[in-house]
Amino acid sequence: MATAHRIAVLSGDGIGPEIVAQAVKVLQALRGQGFDFELREAPVGAGAYLLTGTPLPQSTVEMALASDAVLFGAVGDPRFDHLDASLRPERAILGLRRALGLFADLKQVSVPAELAELSPLRAERVAGVDVLVVRELNGDVYTGQPRGMRVAPDGPFAGEREGFDTMRYAEGEVRRIAHVAFKAARRRSAKLCNVDKANVLATSRVWREVVIDVARDYPDVELTHLYADSAAMQLISHPARFDVILAGNLFGDILSDAASVLTGSIGLPASALLGDAQRGMYEAGHGTALDITERDIANPLACIRAAALMLRHSLGRDDLAQRIEAAVTAVLRQGLRTADLAGGSRVVGTTAMGDAVVAALR
């Protein structure tokens, strides 16, 4: 028996616990065969705030740091929107990314021909789409300093109150995410589309220069560039043209979500959040869906896929990741659909979908 992998389970709020439970069930079905793990749960989000007064307790951060991987559910609850920004549930997401040194968000979006019917796009536009969005997750206007409120120092609105933030990327910061994207492209169709706004932003000009420089190490990868507005258009009109998309934190936020909706449900694609360490964080990437919480109707597949990504990227078990992914595809081919997936032949609940994946694993 191999040593047990330590998995931190941060289920969070809303449907988080329900979808994580299904992913854990799938992992449990793989126990044995040289694979074992130990689960350690910790509070995060609105639940953690109610328990401890902060959405991200230090003990949760420490447990995550002491683990081989983090399986993350979802956090967020509009009932806490009146709190100071630093106490809102979503703040835990930014805090975890920072604490774990996660600077790469890899979201894979694929639309197999037989699921194209689920997409808001016409089947002929999306069938066969397979896009990986590599989003830088640490820098950009998300974390640049200074930021806040002040009296406008100049311009036609001088003297008024203004909100301001600093957008920025340093060369090394772009370099490390560019390598992640080029390496991913090499494992796929060797096409990388860099997205920025170099026609307007100084930040983007440094970003693009560095990406072009890193490209010299990957002569086998075809590099193209699009401005963020054009990229959004192409993603909607011709998604099949993309293989890997590389973008900074802000554009990547918008584009990875736009891409995930092409599958027809944000309950399908999963994200791997990675840093320099082997330890990554894995999540469905959708919200807490409070309106359907505890009704056993949420789609657990994105979270089950997140568990597969965890096996691949943090636990060294690509073989088991592939088995889970094949099982997910199998149940979808069988026609099983949770309520979010329109047009399905057999609508099932959260638990039944998890059970079906377990059955398909065998």
Ligand X SMILES: CC(C)[C@H](C(=O)O)[C@@H](O)C(=O)O
Q: Residues comprising the binding site for Mg(2+)?
A: 229, 253, 257
Burial class of residue 301, CB neighbours in 10 A (0-12, 13-18, 19+): buried
Instruction: Specify the residue, 299 or 358, whose C-beta has the smaller distance to ligand X.
Output: 299
Omega of the bond leading into 146 within 30 degrees of 0 (cis): yes
Single out the catalytic residue among 197, 218, 282, 340.
197
Of 21-29, 86-94, 125-133, 169-177, which part binds ligand X (CB under 6 A)? 86-94
| Contact call for residue 199 and ligand X (CB under 6 A) | yes
Residue from the set 9, 71, 93, 341 that interacts with ligand X by CB under 6 A: 93
- Known catalytic residue at 36: no
| Contact call for residue 290 and a copy of itself (CB under 8 A) | no
Rounded CA-CA distance 283/25 in Å is 16
67 to 106: interface string for a copy of itself, x by CB under 8 A: ------------------x--x-x---x------------
Annotated binding site: 97, 135, 229, 253, 257
Nearest to 309 by CA among 129, 104, 113: 104
Given a contact cutoff of 8 angstroms between Cβ atoms, the answer to whether 45 and 75 are in contact is: yes
Which of positions 266-285 make contact with a copy of itself (CB under 8 A)? 266
Give, in order, the Cα–Cα distances in Å from 277 to each of 68, 71, 243, 281, 313.
9, 16, 26, 11, 10
Residue from the set 50, 170, 200, 202 that interacts with ligand X by CB under 6 A: 200
Given a contact cutoff of 8 angstroms between Cβ atoms, the answer to whether 280 and 105 are in contact is: no
Given a contact cutoff of 8 angstroms between Cβ atoms, the answer to whether 175 and 214 are in contact is: yes
Instruction: Specify the residue, 116 or 360, whose C-beta has the smaller distance to a copy of itself.
Output: 116
Q: Which residues contact 142 (CB under 8 A, 6 or more apart)?
A: 94, 249, 250
- Known catalytic residue at 253: yes
Smallest distance from ligand X to CB 50, Å: 19
| Contact call for residue 142 and a copy of itself (CB under 8 A) | yes
Residue with tokens 């975890």: 96
Given a contact cutoff of 8 angstroms between Cβ atoms, the answer to whether 344 and 301 are in contact is: no
Rounded CA-CA distance 280/209 in Å is 28
Interaction partner, residue 206 (ligand X, a copy of itself, none; CB < 5-8 Å by kind): a copy of itself
Instruction: Specify the residue, 77 or 320, whose C-beta has the smaller distance to ligand X.
Output: 77
Which of positions 94-123 make contact with ligand X (CB under 6 A)? 94
- Sign of the dihedral defined by the CA atoms of residues 63, 316, 34, 330, in that order: positive
Smallest distance from ligand X to CB 249, Å: 7
Q: Which pair of tokens denotes residue 245?
A: 């998309």
Instruction: Specify the residue, 4 or 158, whose C-beta has the smaller distance to a copy of itself.
Output: 158
- Known catalytic residue at 318: no
| Contact call for residue 213 and a copy of itself (CB under 8 A) | no
Strands 271-274 and 104-110: antiparallel
Of 33-41, 47-55, 88-96, 260-268, which part binds ligand X (CB under 6 A)? 88-96
| Contact call for residue 83 and ligand X (CB under 6 A) | no
Residue from the set 117, 130, 162, 253 that interacts with ligand X by CB under 6 A: 253
Single out the catalytic residue among 49, 142, 218, 282.
142
Count of chain residues binding a copy of itself (CB under 8 A): 64
Burial class of residue 361, CB neighbours in 10 A (0-12, 13-18, 19+): middle
DSSP 265-281: -TTS--EEEE-SSS-EE
Strands 280-283 and 271-274: antiparallel
Residues in contact with ligand X by CB under 6 A are 90, 93-94, 199-200, 229, 253
Residues in contact with a copy of itself by CB under 8 A are 85, 88, 90, 94, 119-122, 125, 141-142, 144-145, 147-149, 152, 154-155, 157, 160-173, 197, 199-207, 228-230, 232-233, 236-238, 250-251, 253-258, 260-262, 266
Catalytic residues: 142, 197, 229, 253, 257
